[in-house]
């Protein structure tokens, strides 16, 4: 595993949980409106992508498979804690590598939650058992489950440069099956290429039109364009004064409304993290229960600044 501490230009920063390098009080974010609980189903993936923030691969089992029973336990905790969560998210790795994926999704849907699944729509999703499970879930809970496909770019050349030759075609094949099965879709893309947001959205609109995908390229919730997360780039620390300077509310930052459950290799129980983007940073592990995870999160990492506060990105739908 890589060193996930702040690097290079940021090494002197992000050292003190409460105070920035220049002695100002560090900004924190309270869990004011929990809307989404994420489950990382495991870091194993069928492919290995360049710049994968969680380093998923066919051999990385640093985060092991969650079970349906473990997911159900946290759903019970949601009810007991009266969190206002309306949506459950599943991410990985590749969620459809997990053999209990369909059962975990059903457990969430049965309780009335909407479900968002992040997937590359490739071979793990296209296995017969997974397709049958998805068809049944979509029949039993129409419109309540969305699959968000990781499609880095609307061209095969750029996408395959990150994910491997032929990966674009296999993802499109999976998306065409989802289209024909009437399972709602969204797309997650990246902004690492030299093009404007308008150009990127126009490119995705043309792709959707060619394939008959019912996805809105202009809607940031349906076509999500993620900024790159470069831990070596110099970024500012976020102080309490930044909220007024930036005209931004702490309530708009992702950790004000979400948490993520993971299970580390060798651990007896899963743990709850403050952020989906920092699965390997011990400071952002809040405890084993949702009750322990209700505390404020101090923005003591470059991702907090460049991705969430300044980039304005969110992993939710």
DSSP string, 34-79: --EEEEE--SB-SS--TT-TT--BSS--SBPPP-HHHHHHHHHHHH
Count of CB atoms situated within 10 Å of the CB of 96: 30
Half-sphere exposure of 263 (CA within 13 A, CB side): 19
pLDDT of res. 153: 97
Among candidate residues 230, 237, 312, 227, the one with its CA nearest the CA of residue 28: 237
pLDDT of res. 308: 83
86 touches 115 (CB < 8 A): no
Contacts of 82 (CB under 8 A, 6+ apart): none
Among candidate residues 145, 149, 183, the one with its CA nearest the CA of residue 163: 149
Tokens of 128: 């017969």
Q: pTM of the predicted model, to two decimals?
A: 0.92
- Flag residues of the chain having pLDDT under 50: 3, 314-317
**Domain ranges, ordered by start, for the chain:** 30-232+248-296
Helix, strand, coil share of the chain (percent; to 5)? 35, 15, 50
pLDDT of res. 302: 86
pLDDT of res. 49: 87
317 touches 86 (CB < 8 A): no
- Strand, coil or helix: what is 11? coil
CA distance 231 to 162: 18
280 touches 43 (CB < 8 A): no
pLDDT of res. 317: 46
Q: Under CATH, to which class is 30-232+248-296 assigned?
A: alpha beta
CA distance 77 to 146: 24
């Amino acid at each position: 595993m890589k060193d996930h501490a702040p690097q290079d230009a940021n090494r002197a920063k992000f050292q003190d949980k409460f105070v920035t390098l220049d002695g100002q009080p560090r900004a924190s974010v309270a869990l004011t409106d929990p809307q989404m609980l994420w489950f990382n189903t495991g870091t194993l993936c069928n492919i290995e992508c360049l710049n994968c923030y969680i380093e998923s691969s066919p051999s990385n089992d640093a985060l092991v498979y969650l079970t349906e029973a473990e997911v159900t336990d946290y759903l019970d905790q949601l009810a007991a804690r009266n969190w206002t969560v309306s949506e459950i998210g599943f991410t990985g790795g590749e969620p459809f590598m997990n053999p209990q994926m369909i059962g975990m999704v059903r457990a969430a849907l049965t309780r009335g939650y909407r479900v968002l699944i992040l997937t590359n729509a490739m071979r793990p999703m296209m296995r017969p058992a997974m397709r049958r499970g998805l068809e049944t879930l979509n029949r039993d809970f129409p419109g309540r489950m969305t699959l968000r496909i990781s499609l880095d770019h609307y061209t095969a050349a750029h996408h395959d440069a990150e994910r491997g030759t032929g990966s674009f075609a296999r993802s499109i094949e999976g998306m065409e099956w989802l289209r024909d099965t009437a399972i709602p879709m969204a797309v997650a893309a990246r902004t690492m290429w030299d093009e404007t947001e308008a150009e990127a959205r126009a490119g995705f609109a043309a792709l959707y039109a060619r394939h008959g995908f019912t996805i809105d390229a202009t809607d940031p919730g349906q076509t999500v364009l993620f900024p790159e997360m470069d831990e070596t780039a110099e970024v500012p620390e976020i102080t309490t004064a930044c909220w007024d300077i930036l005209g931004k509310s702490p309530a708009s930052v992702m950790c004000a409304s979400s948490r993520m459950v993971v299970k580390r290799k060798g651990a007896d129980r899963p743990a709850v993290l403050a952020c989906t983007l920092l699965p390997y940073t011990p400071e952002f592990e809040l405890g084993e229960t949702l009750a322990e995870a209700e505390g404020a999160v101090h923005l003591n990492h470059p991702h907090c600044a460049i991705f969430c506060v300044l980039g304005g990105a969110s992993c939710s739908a």
